[in-house]
């Protein structure tokens, strides 16, 4: 099934003109004569390029992928709207089971509407398709722009915390190649990336800065909605880390040194308990994520990993035997984190599509070694414990890296699944390094 055709190429210049007109206007109104404004258009351009490249990849390389299903669903929503806006509204607001036969009979594919996460992507595609004549480029650029807004909101949080690190943080958050590529298009990943940025932005302004109420609550709600309805495990990873961040920030503001030191283990315990409560509460709604089911699901995943390795021509990987016990799970922890952050190794890139991921993983490994070498291991762990921002970033990045490294099954899927943790990991390394060394004059 083709997702881009002649009409898409004819409409693309008009979409770009409109989007860049809006982008330049936003920069002029919101970020005129500011440091942030120097990165806005450039970061947006990287996302636009990524969206166009992924369109070519899905059209000419993979030829059949999840994006085909989501595009088909979005196209069906657009076609239904042209026939009957009332029926289209029903497709936006009710579940597939409630749709009348007259709607179902006109669907090209039914798969995009079976599950809540898939139907949400199709609905976003359909929404943007209404304003772009059902063009794939229109849908893709619309979702990509939403993802960019989420990442930009995340960058604003770190810029507000460390304004003197505006350039290295831009590279850590806005310019990561895999995020600029895989965080685009008509897929789940850009929407969850947007939700992650919205959520952290809202948490920061509501609980850390405590200067706004209405808008942060809106961003928290929107981010939670996107994450829990598409990939709830992202929410399960970021929420406990945010609780820990908030508690440790308040702890650092305690003036008395004795009380401040005593508060550290207390807040860590409270944050951990809060994370468990969140996991239990969400588990009641999403049964596959309830605590008692996690190990069972992980055990089943292990056999699928082995099967995937055999079927994907060497792009799969294994983490050893897993018997479903907590001890076995903990044994895979370092290997799963390693595979997410530092693999595939160059010699494991047996397909052209995997080579960029291998190069980025090599850079991540070398950058990590460089930072650890320059600041020292003891300083590293001391600042992770005592700096609330670094603790927050590392908590989310490491545990999320473990989760996706354990369940992704092959390097192709891993390249997409791991992108939410990368800006936090790189930001933490940047902060740790420049806490000890001055920022170069040309970067200020």
For every one of its 444 residues, what pLDDT tens digit does the chain have, with 9 covering 90 and above?
688 999 999 999 999 999 999 999 999 999 988 999 999 999 999 999 999 999 999 888 877 778 999 999 999 999 999 999 999 999 999 988 899 989 988 888 888 888 778 899 999 999 999 999 999 999 999 999 999 999 999 999 999 999 999 999 999 999 999 999 999 999 999 999 999 999 999 999 999 998 888 999 999 999 999 999 998 889 988 998 998 899 888 876 666 665 556 666 666 666 566 555 555 554 454 445 444 455 555 555 545 545 545 554 557 777 766 666 667 667 788 898 999 999 999 988 888 888 999 999 999 999 999 999 999 999 999 999 889 999 999 999 999 998 888 877 788 888 999 999 999 999 999 999 999 998 887 777
**Do both 435 and 319 map to the same domain?**
yes
- Domain holding 148, by residue range, is 6-181
**Do both 175 and 235 map to the same domain?**
no
Q: Which class for 97: exposed (0-12), middle (13-18), buried (19 or more C-beta within 10 A)?
A: exposed
Q: Does residue 222 sit within a domain? A: no
Using an 8 Å Cβ cutoff, are 71 and 125 in contact? yes
**Do both 118 and 263 map to the same domain?**
no
**Do both 177 and 235 map to the same domain?**
no
pLDDT at 141: 97
Q: Does residue 357 sit within a domain? A: yes
Integer CA distances (angstroms), 133 to 147, 181, 376, in order: 21, 24, 56
Question: Helix/strand/coil (H, E, C) string of 365-432?
Answer: HHHHHHHHHHHCHHHHHHHHHHCHHHHHHHHHHHHHHHHHHHHCCEHHHHHHHCHHHHHHHHHHHHHH
Using an 8 Å Cβ cutoff, are 77 and 84 in contact? no
pLDDT at 286: 46
Give the CA count within 13 Å in the CB-facing half-sphere of 384: 19
Q: Is 336 helix (H, G, I), strand (E, B) or coil?
A: helix
Q: Does residue 191 sit within a domain? A: no
Choosing from 159, 181, 203, the residue where a domain stops is 181
**Do both 307 and 401 map to the same domain?**
yes
Using an 8 Å Cβ cutoff, are 115 and 288 in contact? no
Q: Does residue 192 sit within a domain? A: no
Integer CA distances (angstroms), 178 to 148, 172, 417, 418, in order: 13, 12, 10, 9
Number of structural domains the chain divides into: 2
Q: Does residue 379 sit within a domain? A: yes
Choosing from 148, 181, 214, the residue where a domain stops is 181
Q: Does residue 396 sit within a domain? A: yes
Q: Does residue 201 sit within a domain? A: no
- Gyration radius of the chain's alpha carbons: 22
Q: Nearest to residue 194, comparing CAs of 285, 121, 131?
A: 121
Phi, psi of 104 (to 5 degrees): -65, -35
CA distance 185 to 54: 7
Q: What is the pTM of this model?
A: 0.90
**Do both 102 and 172 map to the same domain?**
yes
**Do both 130 and 249 map to the same domain?**
no
Q: Does residue 203 sit within a domain? A: no
């Amino acid at each position: 099934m083709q997702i881009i055709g002649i009409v898409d190429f004819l409409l693309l210049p008009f979409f770009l003109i409109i989007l860049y007109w809006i982008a330049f206007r936003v920069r002029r109104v919101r970020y005129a004569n500011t440091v942030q404004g120097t990165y806005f258009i450039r970061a947006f351009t990287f996302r636009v390029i990524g969206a166009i490249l992924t369109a070519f990849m899905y059209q000419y390389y993979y030829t059949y992928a999840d994006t085909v299903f989501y595009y088909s669903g979005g196209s069906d929503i657009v076609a239904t709207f042209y026939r009957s806006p009332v029926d289209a509204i029903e497709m936006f607001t009710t579940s597939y089971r409630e749709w009348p036969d007259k709607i179902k009979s006109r669907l090209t594919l039914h798969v995009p509407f079976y599950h809540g996460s898939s139907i949400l992507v199709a609905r976003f595609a359909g929404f943007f398709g209404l304003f772009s004549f059902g063009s794939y480029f229109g849908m893709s650029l619309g979702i990509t722009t939403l993802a960019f807004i989420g990442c930009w909101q995340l960058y604003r949080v770190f810029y507000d915390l460390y304004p003197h690190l505006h350039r290295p943080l831009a590279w850590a958050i806005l310019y990561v190649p895999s995020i600029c590529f895989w965080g685009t298009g008509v897929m789940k990943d850009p929407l969850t990336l947007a939700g992650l940025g919205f959520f952290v932005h809202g948490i920061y302004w509501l609980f850390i800065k405590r200067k706004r109420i209405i808008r942060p609550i809106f961003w928290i709600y929107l981010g939670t909605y996107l994450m829990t309805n598409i990939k709830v495990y992202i929410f399960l990873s970021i929420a406990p880390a945010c609780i820990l961040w908030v508690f440790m920030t308040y702890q650092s503001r305690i003036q008395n040194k004795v009380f401040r030191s005593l508060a550290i283990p207390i807040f860590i315990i409270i944050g951990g308990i809060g994370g468990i409560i969140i996991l239990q509460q969400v588990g009641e709604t999403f049964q596959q994520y309830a605590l008692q089911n996690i190990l069972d699901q992980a055990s089943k995943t292990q056999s699928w990993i082995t099967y995937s390795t055999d079927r994907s021509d060497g792009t799969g990987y294994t983490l050893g035997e897993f018997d479903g016990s907590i001890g076995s799970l903990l044994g895979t922890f370092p290997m799963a984190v390693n595979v997410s952050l530092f693999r595939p190794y160059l010699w494991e890139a047996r397909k052209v599509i995997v080579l960029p991921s291998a190069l980025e993983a090599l850079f991540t490994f070398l950058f990590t070694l460089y930072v650890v070498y320059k600041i020292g291991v003891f300083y590293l762990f001391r600042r992770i414990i005592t700096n609330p921002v670094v603790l927050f970033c590392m908590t989310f990045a490491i545990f999320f890296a473990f989760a996706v490294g354990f369940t992704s099954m092959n390097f192709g899927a891993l390249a997409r699944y791991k992108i939410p943790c990368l800006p936090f990991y790189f930001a933490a390394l940047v902060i740790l390094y420049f806490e000890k060394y001055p920022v170069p004059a040309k970067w200020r």
